[in-house]
Structure 1
Amino acid sequence: MANSYVFYPSATGSTTDYSVPFEYLSQTFVKATVNGASVPFTFLSTYMIRFTTAPWVPSRFIARPPRLRSTPTSTARSSSTAS
């Protein structure tokens, strides 16, 4: 899935409900930030979220798959041996 996001530059501090106008694999992949900081929200429906507190500054909603780990979680071993 390509990274998707929507930016709302005109937050007034009175609106708590915003649309998420893109597809995503799971609600856990949708994140909301205000001034770069994560903020709490709940889903009202597939394409609508509600902030706990209405943002006063520009808001960005991002949906992306989980980041891959930079280090492997296990090491594969070959079952063959060199003679």
Structure 2
Amino acid sequence: MNGADILDVARDAIYTLLIVSGPVMAVGLGVGLIIALFQALTQIQEMTLTFVPKIIAIFLSLLLFLPLMGAQMGDLMMRLMDRVASGG
């Protein structure tokens, strides 16, 4: 395995990481922005108001995106095993 192969594997892994984590992070960001806007408009500064809706939204998004995440991780594993089996 040379340097180009290592870079290909690393690039593939980083791309898969972004595809797998992106939707959940976007949901967390969106919910956080909505809550921050709500707090700024109403001047309610309750700490649990920020955490509880984000946790619920992220949990629901994990349930929703789990098939996509599993498929992407399985595809990465198959590509890595094909590379190992072919010897390069």
Q: Which has the higher strand share?
A: 1
Q: TM-score, normalised by structure 2?
A: 0.21
Q: Higher relative contact order by CA 8 Å / sep ≥ 6: 1 or 2?
A: 2
